[in-house]
């Protein structure tokens, strides 16, 4: 059996092994595959492994032997799942592999904005401490997390783990979720998003992107933020109207933002956030610790093994 891995580089830069896949069949590995090469590279292979390649109706119609698409991610909006299902093609994804890594990035962005660790490191290496007349200096308004209120949008695995870490810092926690679970000790549900924005020092987006919440952070919603609030987004770039956020940052309507995702990735040079004030941007790496990538690799191989055994799991 031939297993074609169309875009393996993001998952594995060479620090992991594809051995579990090679034990299941002959693997053909590509670092990246442009759309117009997908059909050619797949050929008559029945198993496709991909991360972000677009697998639409046209591709599915041309791949007559395709039986299985293993998505190397939690999100699978790059695959026309309904059409694949109608053709008898099983599509699987990778749930819950990077929760701890994403939560770590949430607080990494928060602490950079609150403490300026990276910024101050740069100033020291530029000689500012050497030239300083005092034993220390602080260039940014530094804050402590203890006692602050974090508003978490989304009560899935990641949102609830953000809550746990926030409580360990001694923070107050507000959560907004369309489906409220049993109330636990130590946090409150916000009745509306506006309630969450108005009462939070930090707003963390930890929800999926769908048609109901696209650009939920916009000029109107930002008007409800405290002027000293910061916004964190490790979910999806499409949750934010990026021009509105850039204007809010540049005009001092909010104090800062930290984002790991943008609406267009890789980043476009005309994205207004790239030149906005008081923003930290990382290149969609919250998921990418070696521990999370190793877990992803294991789950992906287990997904394919289960499919080959006639008992598919993590089917979308």
Of 225, 232, 182, nearest in space to 207 by CA: 232
- Per the annotation, the verdict on 13 as an active-site residue is no
- Per the annotation, the verdict on 224 as an active-site residue is no
Strands (E) in the chain, as ranges, are: 2-5, 26-29, 47-50, 68-71, 90-92, 149-153, 172-176, 188-189, 202-205, 230-233, 256-259, 279-281
- Per the annotation, the verdict on 181 as an active-site residue is no
Catalytic-role residue among 19, 184, 220, 265 = 265
How far, in Å, CA of 285 to CA of 259, rounded?
10
DSSP string, 8-50: -TTT-SSSS--HHHHTTSEEEE-S---GGGHHHHHTT-SEEEE
What 3-state DSSP class applies to 70? Answer: strand
Catalytic-role residue among 120, 161, 284, 293 = 284
What 3-state DSSP class applies to 296? Answer: helix
Catalytic-role residue among 161, 236, 242, 293 = 236
Whether residue 297 contacts residue 20, with contact meaning beta carbons closer than 8 Å, is answered with yes
User: Which residues are tagged catalytic?
Assistant: 236, 265, 284
């Amino acid at each position: 059996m031939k297993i074609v891995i169309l875009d393996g580089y993001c998952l594995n830069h060479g620090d992991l092994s594809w051995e579990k896949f090679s034990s299941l069949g002959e693997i053909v590995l590509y670092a990246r595959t442009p759309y117009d090469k997908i059909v050619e590279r797949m050929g008559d292979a029945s198993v496709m492994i991909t991360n972000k390649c677009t697998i639409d109706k046209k591709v599915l119609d041309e791949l007559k032997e395709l039986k299985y698409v293993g998505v190397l991610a939690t999100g699978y909006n790059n695959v026309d799942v309904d059409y694949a299902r109608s053709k008898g093609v099983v599509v699987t994804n990778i749930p819950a592999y990077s929760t701890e890594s994403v939560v770590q990035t949430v607080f990494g962005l928060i602490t950079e904005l609150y403490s300026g660790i990276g910024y101050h490191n740069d100033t020291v290496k530029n000689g500012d401490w050497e030239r300083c007349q005092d034993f220390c200096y602080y260039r940014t308004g530094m804050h402590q997390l203890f006692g602050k209120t974090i508003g978490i949008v989304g009560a899935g695995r990641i949102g609830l783990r953000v809550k746990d870490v926030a409580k360990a810092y001694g923070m107050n926690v507000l959560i907004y979720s369309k489906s409220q679970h049993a109330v636990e000790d130590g946090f409150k549900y916000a009745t509306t998003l506006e309630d969450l924005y108005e009462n939070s020092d930090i707003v963390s987006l930890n929800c999926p992107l769908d048609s109901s919440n696209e650009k939920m952070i916009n000029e109107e919603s930002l008007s409800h933020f405290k002027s000293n609030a910061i916004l964190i987004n490790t979910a999806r770039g499409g949750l934010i109207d990026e021009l509105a956020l850039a204007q809010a940052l540049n005009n001092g309507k909010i104090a800062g933002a930290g984002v790991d995702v943008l609406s267009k990735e890789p980043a476009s040079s005309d994205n207004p956030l790239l030149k906005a004030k008081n923003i930290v941007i990382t290149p969609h790496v919250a998921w990418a610790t070696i521990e999370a990538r190793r877990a992803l690799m294991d789950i992906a191989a287990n997904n394919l093994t289960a499919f080959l055994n006639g008992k598919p799991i993590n089917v979308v």
